[in-house]
Structure 1
């Protein structure tokens, strides 16, 4: 599957018939809402875990030297916390472009972190069959990759550090993210892109 998924997302899931849609963010969407939304709520989904296994050719890296960003990997019983946004369907013009690098929209049940209840929502997932997939590596290897990567949206390290900070603000502990953060902190600052 091509890493540019804009047309595929529109074809697979037209949303024009809906008045609003909940969107679940688990990576940069937690802390960078560069779109209008009707409502914003902390939420989580079951059966998925966050992993830095997806390449970023367009935001935190380049086609020649992709960075590493988060995707979700299925894991029974796992719980992944993030931020949900209630948006109008036309917002997906922007979101499909922002998340075009190998991510497909999938419907899933969202559960609220602040009170009991749930809603159906969309999440962007990048699986192993997309061209931007980088796959598993140790936290130290991922941190080293992130330390040397930079793209049009800035240093890859900024993405990781802002995600870790956002998860702390949600009072969520993500072993994978925090372990990569600790490995990144060990890397001398003069080895990081400016």
Structure 2
């Protein structure tokens, strides 16, 4: 599948006719809501885990030197914590453009911190999209993040903001925090050791 997903997402009609839709964010959407929303609540989705397996050619890297950003992958028993936003359908044009590098809309059950649930949607980048980089050791992911930079800024900034946002929510993510720790060690290491 081509990494450009705007047209595919525009064909999703699951929520046509809805005046409002809940959107679940697990990456930069947790801390960077650059769109209007009606309500914002901590939430989670079950059966998914966050991974830095998606390439970023348009925000945190370039086509020749992609960065790594978060996606979610299926994992039995896992819970992915994040932030849910109640939005109107007009916001989809902005989100489809923001998430155009391989992310597809997917309907999912969202669970709020009070235990209540609602059907909403999430953008995921699966292994079938051209920008998918896949699994790698967390140290290698940190090395790639450390050297990547794109139109939206340094890739490290994305990782550090996400780790900070998860801590503010009181949530743990061993994958994100391990990459963050490796990144800090790389920063402190002499250039030859990197």
Counterparts of 1:112-191 in structure 2, within 5 Å, are 112-113=112-113, 115-188=114-187
Counterparts of 1:22-171 in structure 2, within 5 Å, are 22-113=22-113, 115-171=114-170
User: Quick one: distance in 2 between partners of 1:122 and 1:14?
Assistant: 9
User: Quick one: distance in 2 between partners of 1:177 and 1:51?
Assistant: 8
User: Quick one: distance in 2 between partners of 1:13 and 1:57?
Assistant: 28
What SS does the corresponding residue of 2:68 show, helix, strand or coil? strand
| Cα displacement string for residues 10-68 of structure 1 (whole angstroms, at most 9, x for unaligned residues) | 11336441100000000000000000000000000000000000000110001111100
User: Quick one: distance in 1 between partners of 2:185 and 2:177?
Assistant: 13
User: Under a length normalisation based on structure 1, what TM-score does the superposition of the two structures give?
Assistant: 0.95
Moved over 2 A (4+): 12-16, 188-191
Distance apart, 1:177 and its partner CA: 0.1
Q: State how many pairs are aligned.
A: 190
User: Quick one: distance in 2 between partners of 1:102 and 1:50?
Assistant: 16
What SS does the corresponding residue of 1:172 show, helix, strand or coil? coil
Query: Alpha carbon RMSD of aligned pairs, Å?
Result: 1.2
User: Quick one: distance in 1 between partners of 2:75 and 2:14?
Assistant: 28
User: Quick one: distance in 1 between partners of 2:125 and 2:153?
Assistant: 21
What SS does the corresponding residue of 1:187 show, helix, strand or coil? helix
Distance apart, 1:101 and its partner CA: 0.5
What SS does the corresponding residue of 1:163 show, helix, strand or coil? helix
